[in-house]
Amino acid sequence: MTASGSRLASGLTFAVLSAVSFALSGPLARGLLDTGWSPGAVVTVRIATAALVVAPFGAISLRGRWDLLRREAGRVVVYGVLSVAGAQFCYFSAVQRLQVGPALLIEYTAPAAVVLWLWLRHGQRPGPLTLLGTAIAGLGLIAVLDLFSGADLDPVGVLWALGATVGAASYFVLSAAEDDGLPPLALAGGGLLVAATLLGVLGAVGALPLEGGTGDAVYGGSSIAWFAPLLAMGVLTAAFAYVTGIAAVRRLGSRLASFAALLEVVAAVVFAWVLLDELPRPVQLTGGLLVLAGVVVVKLGERDIRAVGADTPVPSS
């Protein structure tokens, strides 16, 4: 296998691991939200737990090169605020009002936003196949939302999900830069610390409602102690998911990684079905297949991209 082929294979492996891990967060959070936990409390505990897990490894990965962290402080802060705290809070707020599948698919219009950003900001004009793939994925999204039949979706929930779109798009773009020398663990650890601090401060001053409880969460008809899903969300769906996600983006580039991450939607639908008994309608399942087809077409269109510069932007500037 060539070096580029090996890089692609490892990137896709990391992308799948990250997507499946992230996918579990919505169903787990829904079980806690149904017991009275607020979205702010769930995301704060989740991110704080992940920060405690990843930050020490991030510090070790710097190997004393603290100047790298100082130089990239702006990007780390923006990553923590938008990509971690903003995206997760908006997503959990959406899940409180929408089913997991539709909420996640609205969020994952992010790949189209990434394509647009790379075109406008970095001159990476998408080729015909990339545009076709984006259109197919968009059609799939419409089917998932079941807009043709006038499905009744909570408009506030949709707005929260669109807010998560902005955070998700920033996650892929900010994670892509690797020529700055900042290790993935350092970016993940620093971003998680920033997000946890921000959420904690907002909660302390009363700007972010932090309501919890000790009631059991129910998944698949079984009751589980409240701390178990919280721990799983912090370690598996945040710490592990963010680290593997950054590793994937650095190997695949922000455009392809953002489309590969749509696999999260499929995994989330499966998890929501098993844990919450939320099964999308046939038209929504068909839409999910169209979204995945769009990912394949976008990959085929990668070679048609007429780029100015590499696909490793540093958009904090």
The C-alpha atoms of residue 153 and residue 103 are separated, in whole angstroms, by: 10
Structure-token pair, residue 251: 């190997």
DSSP string, 103-136: HHHHHTTHHHHHHHHHHHHH--B--HHHHHHHHH
The reply to whether 310 falls in a domain is: no
Within a domain: 88: yes
Please report, for residues 111, 121, 225, the alpha-carbon distance to residue 278 in angstroms, rounded to integers and kept in the order given: 25, 39, 21
Q: How far is CA 153 from the centre of its chain?
A: 22
Residue 198 counted as domain residue: yes
Cα gap 143→151, rounded to integer Å: 10
Return d(Cα 70, Cα 191) in angstroms, integer: 13
CA dihedral 140→285→17→239, nearest 10 degrees, is 90
Structurally, how many domains does the chain consist of? Answer: 1
Is 89 within the bounds of a domain? yes
Domain-embedded: residue 120? yes
Instruction: Supply φ then ψ for residue 296, to 5 degrees.
Output: -65, -45
Q: Quote the CA–CA distance of 315 and 267 in Å, as a whole number.
A: 30
Tokens 């698949």 sit on residue: 220
Domain interval for residue 25? 3-304
Kindly report each contact of residues 263-266 with a partner whose C-beta sits within 8 Å and lies 24 or more positions away, as own/partner: 263/15, 263/16, 263/19, 263/20, 263/292, 263/295, 264/18, 264/19, 264/20, 264/22, 264/23, 264/104, 264/108, 265/23, 265/101, 265/104, 265/105, 265/108, 265/291, 266/23, 266/292
Q: Per-10-residue mean pLDDT for the chain, 317 residues long?
A: 76 90 91 92 94 93 88 91 91 85 77 75 76 81 65 82 89 74 87 94 90 91 93 94 88 78 80 84 78 72 50 36
Q: What pLDDT, on a 0 to 100 scale, did the predictor assign at position 50?
A: 94
> Residue 118 has what pLDDT?
74
The verdict on residue 71 lying in a domain is yes
Could you say which DSSP state residue 218 is in?
E
Could you tell me if residue 47 is inside a domain? yes
